[in-house]
Structure 1
């Protein structure tokens, strides 16, 4: 081995040893860094524990203070009942803890109001109760002499709510009673367009020997309609088009039981009407 090879050999060996030594960090240098990392972890844990502690203290203080008692009661969705009526029925008071209310029992009490269909209750921090109600729609009014009783969409007649003033937002029902015929009547009315329902003044239950569902309608335009509840909603969909074929000055009976016929009050003959639904 000549001098150059000797120099290169030991140069590589020495350089490698120098590089290895440069990568080594002494224990004395590492200790301060480890202590710093441990101190940071300990500080984070302390902060978390303090936050948890003060959160628990705040929660306990809130539940024990008047802040957790009911202060506001918001009622939404009511039209037929006032806010005071619903709040009174709920039996919620300002002495109650907002988080200890029995929502199931409150809903049960409010639904005792006959025109309430659904009830939802939500608590809003810090002390508000939100009551949302859905009411049964008044579909018609049952007539008994000079007294009117609301008829709900579930077929119930509210005989506890007498109305002496003449209602104008729904047809009157005569000679009906709670049961399958009235239920069929209400179901049919829900399927008829509002503009047609609003044109009905009165509906009488006039059963026949072969049809207990037969009804007679008296319209606001002066016409009379003979129909059966089995096809009432389907036939009344075409009432505006049927009416357009008639002379408004000649009143009579529109028979919708089988086909569509018109018989004037002053005429013995019958006029067959073209029903768009039968084209």
Structure 2
């Protein structure tokens, strides 16, 4: 009996209708449209993701850090102190240092007039400052540093190194006096300021506001508020002398300096004045008291009478006697 081979029955494919074909085609077109529409966004997301990956990698790499901090134009303030004021260090990221904010932070200091911060090549941050100029320090209720701008600022611990560069100021406690001396020191070179040990007031007969400057070399320099700039020539003036403890005077009109006897060594001459019948001092036409004068010889020595007393020149004849004496000398 023979075996019958089974025939393989294949599934009958259902033919899509024309309507289904239309809808399938619309779906493919819509999917393609959505993909094309999303392409710019996907491209942008890819760029942003790539940038973030690069930025994060750069941020945590050593090459992103500041390599050096340079401080320029400082004289009184130490570079390390200015760096600490800025808040910058070598752990800062170079491109995350914002110049404007660092400048404003530095300018909060009472001793920094202005600051400029710049990004330089090779990861260098450059700080350039314009300092206020201190010309002295004093102690009233507290230690104060005096500036040529006319301000007096608290002598903080971080400023203590500055007192080696400026003199001690004795007196000048009123606001008016402080402004005057600050203005006078505006014309004095800062290297000359360092040569002064102490400044005080020393009233003279011709100027009760005379300034006495004790120099670090032991000499005394006397000047007015208006002639203090003569002090800039001090090194040249002092080089002509070998001795110390000299008294040097500046001249308001000639703008020069000269040496003379120190005021505490000067011999004070007691003057005598004519007295009238009522016991009042006789004055001349200008209101000045009339001084008594005595006869002297050609050498300037007083001529004495038989009793050893000086011979008085009659009042009103002083000029005649001086003219006569001068003619005899000539």
Category of TM-score, reference length = shorter chain: 0.5 to 0.7
Question: Secondary structure of 1:189's match?
Answer: coil
Cα distance in 1 for partners of 2:162, 2:104 equals: 33
Q: How does 1:84-123 map to 2 (within 5 A)?
A: 86-87=83-84, 89-90=86-87, 99=95, 102-123=98-119
Instruction: Give the structure with the higher percent helix.
Output: 1
Query: Radius of gyration: which is bigger?
Result: 2
Residues matched between the structures, number: 210
Are the equivalent residues in 2 in contact too, given 1:181–1:213 (CA < 8 A)? no
* Structure 2 length-normalised TM: 0.46
* 1:142-165 Cα deviation digits (max 9, x unpaired): 121797544445444331415678
Q: 1:72 aligns with which of 66, 70, 87?
A: 66
Cα distance, 1:168–1:244 mapped onto 2, change above 3 Å: same
Q: Which runs of 5+ in 2 are unaligned?
A: 1-43, 270-330
* 1:159-202 Cα deviation digits (max 9, x unpaired): 14156789433322222466532431331222x7x3x5444221
Asked if 1:231 corresponds to 2:227, the answer is yes
- Aligned CA RMSD, in angstroms, stands at 4.8
Number of the residue aligned with 1:130: 125
Cα distance, 1:95–1:134 mapped onto 2, change above 3 Å: closer
Instruction: Give the structure with the higher percent strand.
Output: 1
Are the equivalent residues in 2 in contact too, given 1:116–1:133 (CA < 8 A)? no
Q: Which runs of 5+ in 1 are unaligned?
A: 1-52, 271-279
Q: 1:218 aligns with which of 204, 214, 219?
A: 214
Cα distance in 2 for partners of 1:154, 1:201 equals: 21
Deviates more, 1:243-252 or 1:172-181: 243-252
Number of the residue aligned with 1:14: none
